[in-house]
Homo-oligomer: A and B are copies of this chain.
Amino acid sequence: MGMSTTAMRDYLDGPHKAARDAVRAALAEHADLKDLAVQLPRDEYRDRVLDLLLESAAAGLPARGYPKEYGGEADLGGFIAAFETLAFGDLSLMVKAGVQFGLFAGAILHLGTERHHERYLADAISGRLLGCFAMTETGHGSNVQALGTTATYDDATGEFVVHTPTAAARKDYIGNAARHGRMAAVFAQLVVGGESHGVHCLLVPIRDADGATLPGVTLSDCGPKLGLNGVDNGRIVFDQVRVPREALLDRYAQVDAGGNYTSPIENPDRRFFTMLGTLVQGRVSVGGAAINASKVALTIAVRYGARRRQFGAPGSSEETLLLDYRMHQRRLLPLLARTYALHFAQAELVQEFARVFSADRVGERDEHDRRALEAQAAGTKALGTWHATETIQLCREACGGAGYLAENRLATLKADTDVFTTFEGDNTVLLQLVAKGLLTDYRRSFGELDPLGMARFVAAQAVEIAVEKAALRPLIERLRDVVPNRSDAGDPDAGLRDDAYHSGLLRYREEHMLSGVARRLKAGVDAGDDAFDVFNRCQDHVIAAGRAHVDRVVLEAFQSAVQEAPDELRPVLQDLYDLHALVTIEAERAWYLEHGRLSPGRSKAITALVNDLCATVRPAAVDLVDAFGVPGAAVDVPIVVPSQHE
């Protein structure tokens, strides 16, 4: 193919090349990183990860993402890119950095005001003040609005009393809680003057400078986990712990000394989701980290497949390379193509994140952008993390028994990334959120609507929206013209590699599913059924609609990336894009057949073309993984590095 690996790598790195390279260089200096998870006992591993965290802080990794006033560089895009790149190395370090520099410091930055910034931000970014993000409880993960922890204002003393009223309200799975954290950003129901104002966040010290647990606080360890054992996840129970009034992170709601609660956002739901929305960075980062973990796995499995021989043509002197088998190509190369697709979608997301969060605007347009960003982040996170789970699993299987040995890294990678699909928002819940956002978009009204859609599935509102879906009908009609029904076309291959045809199909599917959901919701309500039951009956349809939307966004991100690529890279990227597009359509071909958008002949032609494209991409496969630029320290494992055993 003659592709330049360096040119491809530069193109993938995009505007944040420097940030990525800095982390690559740091990882390259720690050849032991990929083996920490296996070699160290749990507590030593946790302490080593803390050392690495502090080292990364000293090297300026987190500072990149914070305001210049507090020692930062205010380069949000570079910060996320650097953070994602950490996923090439030890995933516990990546997650602990996410807890400390993303969630904890992020809560202070976004939910706090100047006094909090002045007092804590520099220490949080440097790692001098280690903190927790204490949101999830034993009884509530996804449904954050229903948290049980309370923070009750006592106007006699001017303090908040933080308390865990039930066993289910125990804070759970909290990173940094079991060993290192000294302070927690605690999400609790704020009660002022006997009235509950919903979930707010307060800074609560949990350990003193010597690491001793503070009075009223009970800390325990979540114990061993499937992976990420370098992160000290723990549980926190509060027994009437008093903190000063200033502990409330009060950007979106204030309590004065006299016990008066005020907020610039009147609607409690909207206030809640606005506060939560500022924390979208976590989701953006996890999606990116998952995509990068997939790159590590593919680098190992593709290189292995390109050197491992097994079986072969009768009578030939050499056995055949695994990657020359059709089935091996079929299993790995579509995942390689999708990794590129998701990389470009993630790059778009990061750019949009940096734009939205750099702007200091207010007003409806800004809020609309934020909601759109949250949906985009939710969708990319869901697809990126499921992709990682699937890819790393397949890579493990493609390396056989060797893939099962810890020394070849896939085991750790698989175990560490597995929780990504359910933390920072369970993927199924996130896809509902995406779909809900799309339905809301059509309504173009954000007044009283719960804009994030996380609240109790918001069955009632969804149904309201459905009533207005009639407006969607003309769009569907238009799409029908855009995507001709090819059932009668003579040549089943015609146009199969046409970008517009791909996005036409995906857009059609997205719009059709959304309008179908809306119609079903409306019909259910018209029939007098219980709104929640109506919603629940459509739940699989809603989630599929969300997924269809994200599939389309990812596809179009890849299209743009191909168009904007340097001439020398465009041919190979175009092949990879076509493979991704057709695999995506192939995976949903039953739906297209059911809806008359594919003829049987054309559907079969797509499968045949996917096979051909796998063979087309095959010669470039090793270059394409090399272009990810994963440092050798992370992927030079025994099965891919020639040794005495070959």
Q: Which residues of A contact B (CB under 8 A)?
A: 38, 136, 138-143, 146, 167-168, 170, 172-173, 222-227, 310-314, 316, 319-320, 324-327, 330-331, 389, 393, 396-397, 400-401, 403-407, 410-411, 414-415, 418-419, 421-423, 426-428, 456-460, 530-533, 536-540, 543, 589-590, 593-596, 600, 603-604, 611, 644-646
Contacts and interface: CB of A to CB of B under 8 A. Distances in A.
Nearest to A644: B167
B596 A404 contact: no
Nearest to A173: B401
A457 B225 CA distance: 41
B405 A539 contact: no
Given A168-B646, A404-B419, A539 B456 contact: no
Nearest to A386: B397
Given A224-B406, A311-B142, A311-B143, A400 B418 contact: no
A604 B173 CA distance: 41
A539 B327 contact: yes
A93 to B, nearest CB: 18
Contact of A611 (B400, B427, B540): B540
One complex includes copies of this chain to the number of 2
B167 A313 contact: no
Given A38-B224, A167-B645, A224-B411, 15 more contacts: A38-B223, A146-B311, A146-B319, A167-B644, A168-B646, A170-B645, A312-B456, A326-B539, A327-B539, A330-B540, A393-B393, A397-B426, A401-B423, A590-B593, A594-B603
Nearest to A588: B590
A585 to B, nearest CB: 11
A562 B567 CA distance: 62
Contacts of A428: 327, 331
Q: Is the interface of A mostly helix, strand, loop or mixed?
A: helix
A484 to B, nearest CB: 18
A-B interface, 9 closest residue pairs, ranked by CB to CB distance from nearest: A226-B411, A313-B532, A590-B590, A224-B406, A593-B593, A326-B539, A594-B600, A167-B645, A404-B419
Contacts of A141: 310, 400-401
Contacts of A411: 224-227, 415
Contact of A172 (B312, B401, B531): B401
B405 A532 contact: no
Nearest to A543: B327
Nearest to A390: B393
Contact of A311 (B222, B389, B456, B595): B456
Contacts of A139: 646
B389 A393 contact: yes
Contacts of A223: 38, 405-407
Contacts of A403: 422
A396 B418 contact: yes
Contacts of A594: 589, 593, 600, 603-604
Nearest to A600: B594
A222 B224 CA distance: 23
A423 B396 CA distance: 12
Contact of A600 (B173, B396, B533, B595): B595
Given A313-B531, A406-B224, A593-B594, A326 B400 contact: no
A426 to B, nearest CB: 6
A225 B405 contact: yes
Contacts of A458: 314
Contacts of A397: 421-422, 426-427
